[in-house]
Each structure stands twice: as structure tokens, then as C-alpha cells.
Structure 1
């Protein structure tokens, strides 16, 4: 059985895809470029191409890598492969929206737990994301801080060291994320309790996120942050 929410001191969160709508941000920017250049795109096809281009050996840190990705996928989408549009896709990150339920859910969860961001994005991008989310985090870890990206266990180990410095352990952490590949699978291997936020529950496939070799059954499963926050609040209220 899954543990009671009150047993956790820390809730660690993936950010891009779980709290921030990166798929919507990418599709919106590419659609705007398409409209300006006299064409149109299929959003899901754009995400498929993005996924293929993003996860390569010569990839840069996210979201700087969006410039490189754009130059690869533009021809297949009928878009001009020009540096100005590549930079535009990268810079669009500053305008990406949080999911409608993210900020309110984090505000509620922050009343009872310490919230920690764990993102493969660089610090400059997280600075924008935090503003969209209401700056709810007790601590934040980016690719710049860790020198690596999830699902590298080394990323998680740095978070474990941080909470250990606060007198806690990984047993005090509930890891919350939408990516089976980057978060749910590796968190299980590392012995963390996890919560899958299935953002694409009404859509087929994995969208812009790489597909895992194997599906990991999570300890908790919700289709929105709102549902997760509501379940935590309800359970803790019952315990009072």
C-alpha cells in the first residue's frame, strides 16, 4: 500500500511537463512561425520530430538546445531553417505557461510540505518558470546546479545530500512527475516513493517526452496537479 502523505516532509517536483506546459509552448511558437511564413503545422507531428531531435548525443542543455532542435525539424515541418526562428523557439521559453492547476496546487501543498524543484532546465529558464508558479519552492535544483540531467542517478543523489543536511533522508521524499522516462522509472530504482501526474491521459503517445523502455507502475497516480493536491489535503484533514 502507498504510504500516507503525512509521512513525507519533502515533495520533489519535475517542472517542465509536470508544472509547465512545454508541449503547448513549443507548439504555439512553431504555429506562430508557420502562420507568419504562410504555412501550418500538425502539433503532434511537431512534438514527435522534436522528441527525435532532442534526445541525441550532441544535444545541449535544455532549453538552449531548442535552437539546435529547430534547425533539424524545421525542414520536415515546412518551416524556414533560419537562425532567427531557432532563437525565437529558444526564447519562447520565457512565455511558456504553467498548467492551469499548477500554481494553486503548489500553494496548497506548500502549507504542509517543503517543495523542491528538480528540473533538467537551466537556471535562467527556471527563473521564468518560478514566476509563473508563484515562487513556491523551498529549494531548487537545475542542470546548471547538478551538472547532469535526469534520469542520471547523480541528479537525485545531490537532492538526497541536500535533505540529509536538513536531517531528513530519501524516505522523507515523495517525488512527483509526469515523465516515466526521466523521473518515475529512475525514482523507483533509487528507492523513492513516487507520484505520476499523467498530463497526457486524454492523448495517445508520449508527445515531446521520450518513451521509456518499460512502464513503471507508480505509487500514486493522478491526471492533474489539482487532483493530487486535493487528495493530499483530504487525507491530511482526515488525520487531524
Structure 2
């Protein structure tokens, strides 16, 4: 399903992916990690829907990201859990361990079932880049999963502390099976999307490192708010992965404005099939 049939996927050389929501099922991860809090509280137990819970949480998260983009994502999640706890009338201080557990839950968030196979198809045709609102330590676990590796191999998917830029599939030791040519997190850029500093940093590095201008860069993401709408303002084309049941990051659908994406697919696997069809 397309908002613009006049362009070809194969006209692009680099894909910038959002990770959480696009490649990884962050909504299920967040919701399931919130259930212990929700179940024990009279206001939320049995009354808050999944959608209502996620929208309440994301508003808290966005507010915290705006207030202090220097906070690491694991800590920001912990702080958001504390704020939600307080909004339900519980003491934040009595649940510090629970807040920390929630902050570390990123490592347990599952990938969408089509993700790994689709990435292996797409890496044959593009340089793949991650631009994600996450921190280095949390992303290592997701990176290993995206690469088809196990936690026992985590070291190969953890950003080296001394690395100025992380180009994982250019690793000289050959231990990494990462599909990504570049990984940038909020910890690297000092900004949480949709702040344009993250995307501008990514475009600058892509130009310097790979000689690819923004006209040949494609943003592929589920969140319209964090990625598609924000990048379109910078003149970067986008593909919307409209994951079934997703509720976060879709505020602009209610605005009535023309869509900012060039193509819309239900899964990343569907997009990968479309690329293969164009190539053939």
C-alpha cells in the first residue's frame, strides 16, 4: 500500500532503521514488564486496556526525554516506571528495585518474527544503519538477537568503549555477524528522536563514511512521530512499517495532513519481498 507510487525502493543505497517498534516488539515488551505494577493497583488492575497503558506510559517517557536527553535509556525507563508508579498513588522510593528491573527489561524484548530474515535480504542491497533511542549496554542484547547470535556471544555485539564510531560489520576480528554498517544511539547523538540532531548526525556520518547523500537514504520505521514525520521535515524519504496492533507514535494519523511516507508495509518481511521483486 503506497502513498507515493512514483519512486523505487532500489533507488536508495542506505536504510536507517528505527529499532524498537520496527524490528523489536517494544510495545509487548513494555506492557508485559508493566503488568506487576498494573495488577496490584486498584486503579489500573482489570480496567486499563493495553492501548491505554501504552499511551499513558509513552507520554511520561516523551516528557522525560524532552527534559533531559543526557539520561541513558535504561535509566530513563526506570524513571518512567517510577513516575507511573507515583501517578497510581504508590511511593516511588518503596519500589526502587522494581524500577531498576523495568529499566533493564530491554534485553528481554522480543524481535518480530520476520525481522532477522528480512534484514538478511535487505543487507544484500543496502547499507543498514540503526538510529535508536537506546543506550549502548541495553542495545547489545538486541543487537545480538538481530544478528542471529546468542547471549553467550554478547561481547561481539557490544560497542567497544574506545570506538569513536561503531561500524560493526567492518570489525577486523570477523567475529560479528551483524547486518549493520553503522549503529547510532541516543547515547551517541545526545538526543532522543524526534529531535532532529540524531538524524542530522546520522546523515553526516553516512555521507562521510559511505559517500551517500540524504537523497539516497531511506528511513524505515514504525513510529510516525519519532521517525517518519521527523525525517520528512529534513527531506529524507520514509517507508512506514505499519505493525499490526501498534498504538505508539501514531499521533499524526489523526491530523488529517497528507502522509509523510513513500510506501507502507505491514511487516519488514513484506518490504524485503518488494525490494527483491524490484531487483528481479
Matching of residue 95 in structure 1 with residue 108 in structure 2: yes
Listed as ranges, the gaps of 5+ residues in structure 1 are: none
* Structure 2 CA distance for partners of 1:80 and 1:105, relative to 1, 3 Å: farther
TM, length-normalised to structure 1:
0.87
Aligned partner of 1:45 in structure 2 is 52
Deviation at 1:2, TM superposition (A): 3.6
Moved over 6 A (4+): none
Give CA deviations for 1:59-108 in whole Å, capped at 9, x if unaligned: 54423211111122225568774111111111111111111111111111
1:1-240 aligned at under 5 Å gives the runs 1-32=5-36, 34=38, 42-56=49-63, 57-58=66-67, 60-74=71-85, 81=92, 82-134=95-147, 135-165=178-208, 166-200=210-244, 202=245, 206-207=247-248, 209=249, 211-212=251-252, 214=255, 216-237=259-280
Deviation at 1:50, TM superposition (A): 0.2
Listed as ranges, the gaps of 5+ residues in structure 2 are: 148-177
Work out whether residues 176 and 196 of structure 1, in 8 Å CA contact, stay in contact via their aligned partners in 2. Answer: yes
Distance in structure 1 (CA, Å) of the matches to 2:211 and 2:104: 39
Give CA deviations for 1:152-198 in whole Å, capped at 9, x if unaligned: 22211212211212222111111101111111112211111110111
Give CA deviations for 1:115-167 in whole Å, capped at 9, x if unaligned: 00011111122211111211321111111111112222221121221121222
C-alpha RMSD of the superposition: 2.4
TM, length-normalised to structure 2:
0.75
Work out whether residues 37 and 85 of structure 2, in 8 Å CA contact, stay in contact via their aligned partners in 1. Answer: no
How many positions carry a matched residue from both structures?
233
Distance in structure 1 (CA, Å) of the matches to 2:91 and 2:72: 23
